[in-house]
Structure 1
């Protein structure tokens, strides 16, 4: 006969889960074997952002279920944490310069109180591109040559973003970016179909808009833009991926070459530009005015075919999924004290007939569009679960 009072049958011992009290059940205890003794003490309150969350503050009494974390460095370019971003722009719109400026923008991000970001290549080739970009822009003070082919790159982004309620948020994701020559966007180019497929399969698009094209190149840019947009729509429509009659992509429209005097001075005269009150006193177009700034660029500054680009963006994409940025890959020239001076702000100078960056690059809205796209795409994925 067993010495334990819970044995229901002499000589057989306790029967798990059937005869034992609930607090003795292995399933109730969440562990193999019997557990004798009183129930375990109640769990301590969960700490959220440094504050204890009271019992009952959440539907189950504690935090909502948390998914298994995946280290950013172990996410593949096609894994669940990947964000596929397509880079789109006319020939000579500055796509390669934009990508080359990304690691510099990441290095400078923390200085401006916007969080800390580390970018690393997922392949040796992607890492080499980052290295060349820093050396060319920051050390040699030169510009990359025009892209002559198609280049696919996957970069891991790992960082911390400040929370609105205080503290920081750990972020990790992979960006799969394709840098292609603007000529690839010609409908007759043999690689045009492959590029369209990549853009159609992207979750987000960065469209680099060059506001300094002359009339001939501007007309050509519209032809490339519309042909590609029409082809993307056909691909997405055929796989039944349209959302409310529009393309499902999130789009960041970057007005390139914000630092160029031909664009910057008219922007100042039209009162689109404000200036930081501290630090280097960098000029910017406020985020809340960026959509209006792009409309002014299209309707007044450029006019003609640029207005059709604006209309097409609003027709083919959901307007609430489009954001706008005044972007500069190299930023403005700063004086010896590191302060912006409107008398001498052009950051490109001629050296032996070649353009050269005058002072160390300070990219403007280069990293921000990518981070914002990732955030909006991730938020949408969570809402759709």
Structure 2
């Protein structure tokens, strides 16, 4: 296996071998062409450059360019799951139910659910690089800790992807964040909660699957949902996002309705929509060329879709990039959930390949390559928008609970 350097380790005064080039991928993707002298992206020549900001996207991006290369997708090969599920009753309660937040993970087959979970603790460790304070994640059971350890080892040391989930796997993680201002800026609070995760194979979300009712029941009890939208998988009939969304939404609405918990006729959940595989050239290249991505002005100069433009980016992804069934995904999300409770993120679980100087290079950014018939990562992961959707969900659920608590206090005062 080639000597692949680790961008998370310093290399003062050293030049490290860089592993295979993107031309060796075997997935039909070649090294993206540069932009010539006018490129806004950083390159690996010389010391880390000071990147220029990338222009904001036009109001109506050109769909002709957006569709370029969209039909040639690459998927990580599914393999059997190896981490056992905890037995019923073995997951500690983690305190009062009021402190317990349930997050459901949702997506079609090969949308990257297991890789997202494996990258989550890495993103938590890297959070303090660019933000104040730190987040840390630990398992509440031996099985959950084994998943965390194995996932980190696979992505960082072995430089390969975790095995795909088979069936449904329950996990409980303790998540603790940095101290922040409390509600309405009064006092301070430290986010500390138990994250209940039901990691399910994408096929379970399909209509008629024997485990679908079990999964839907767990999603119904969740306060927040992370929905992984895979623009590449949506191009294939077997993994179309809408096929695995509509059936689950119908059953989910029926269960919540029967419990009399619909809000204004819609599901009460907060939702973080993650547009996955942002690092893949078939997604990233048209996103960059149309100006959706902007480059960080410090650190590794990573490209990102600004949060304030993320919903418009999802709209473009559905209307112009994918079209057809992707538009139905968007329509279903807006119909079943309150749009004000949905946020959007351009996400990459493994991030981009970085130079030995820890800088993004537009001419050589492809991360996974084919090495001896197996997909390998060229550099250690730097996840993009993996932890942020979870932080957002925790804050929104916390605000909801605060409003409910104040409303209960007011009702109690009136009753006196």
The TM-score normalised by the length of structure 2 is 0.72
Matched residue, 1:289: 309
Work out whether 1:359 is the aligned partner of 2:379.
yes
Q: Is the 8 A contact 2:180 2:190 kept in 1?
A: no
Distance in 2 separating the partners of 1:219 and 1:131 = 29
Give matches, 1:187-336, under 5 Å: 187-213=207-233, 215-217=235-237, 220-336=240-356
**Aligned-partner Cα distance in 1 for 2:285–2:293:** 10
| Matches of 1:130 and 1:177, distance apart in 2 | 13
Q: Among residues 168, 174, 177, which one is paired with 1:150 in the alignment?
A: 168
Is the CA contact (8 Å cut-off) linking 2:167 and 2:211 kept in structure 1? no
1:44 aligned partner: none
Q: CA deviation at 1:214?
A: 5.2
1:330–1:361 CA contact under 8 A, matched in 2: yes
Change (3 A) 1:260 1:342: same
Partner SS, residue 284 of structure 2 = helix
Q: Is the 8 A contact 1:273 1:286 kept in 2?
A: yes
C-alpha RMSD of the superposition: 1.9
Deviates more, 1:209-218 or 1:299-308: 209-218
Query: TM-score, structure 1 length as denominator?
Result: 0.78
Q: Report the alpha carbon displacement of residue 187 of structure 1 after superposing the two structures with TM.
A: 2.0
Superposition deviation, residue 99 in structure 1: 0.1
Q: Distance in 1 between matches of 2:186 and 2:284?
A: 35
Of 145, 162, 185 in structure 2, the residue corresponding to residue 127 of structure 1 is: 145
Deviation at residue 223 of structure 1 after TM alignment: 1.7
1:341 and 1:158, CA in 2 relative to 1: closer, same or farther beyond 3 A?
same
1:335-346 alignment, distance < 5 Å = 335-346=355-366
Q: CA deviation at 1:268?
A: 0.7
Question: Could you list the per-position Cα deviations for residues 186-242 of structure 1 after superposition, in whole angstroms to 9, with x for gaps in the alignment?
Answer: 221111100000011110000000001254337743122100011100001111110
Deviation, structure 1 residue 78: 6.7
Q: Does 1:108 align with 2:126?
A: yes
Aligned-partner Cα distance in 2 for 1:111–1:187: 43
In the other structure, the counterpart of 2:108 is 90
How do 1:133-144 residues align onto structure 2 when only pairs under 5 Å count? 133-144=151-162
> What's the offset of the Cα at 1:161?
4.6
Distance apart, 1:352 and its partner CA: 1.0
Q: Distance in 2 between matches of 1:340 and 1:378?
A: 36
Residue-pair matches, total: 312
8 A contact 2:160–2:376 mirrored in 1: yes
Aligned ranges for residues 169-188 of structure 1 at < 5 Å? 169-188=189-208
Post-superposition CA distance 1:341-373 (Å, at most 9, x none): 101111111111211011010001111101110
> Deviations 1:231-270 (Å, cap 9, x if unpaired)?
1000011111100111100000000000000100000111
Q: Distance in 2 between matches of 1:151 and 1:270?
A: 39
Residue 301 of structure 1 aligns to a residue in which SS? helix
Q: Which stretch shows the higher mean deviation, 136-145 or 211-220?
A: 211-220
Q: Which whole-Å deviations, capped at 9, do the CAs of 1:85-137 have from their partners, x for residues lacking one?
A: 00000001000000000110011011111430111101111111100110000
Equivalents in 2 of 1:77, 1:356: separation in Å?
40
> How far apart, in 1, do the equivalents of 2:346 and 2:233 lie?
16
Q: Point out the structure with max Rg over C-alpha.
A: 1
> Shift of residue 325 of structure 1?
0.2
Which residues of structure 1 form unaligned runs of 5+? 1-73
- Counterpart CA distance in 2 for 1:142 and 1:128 is 17
Return 5+ residue gaps in structure 2 as ranges: 1-91, 406-416
Greater relative contact order (Cα < 8 A, sep 6+): 2
Matched, 1:117 2:139: no
1:51-71 Cα offsets, whole Å, 9 max, x none, are xxxxxxxxxxxxxxxxxxxxx
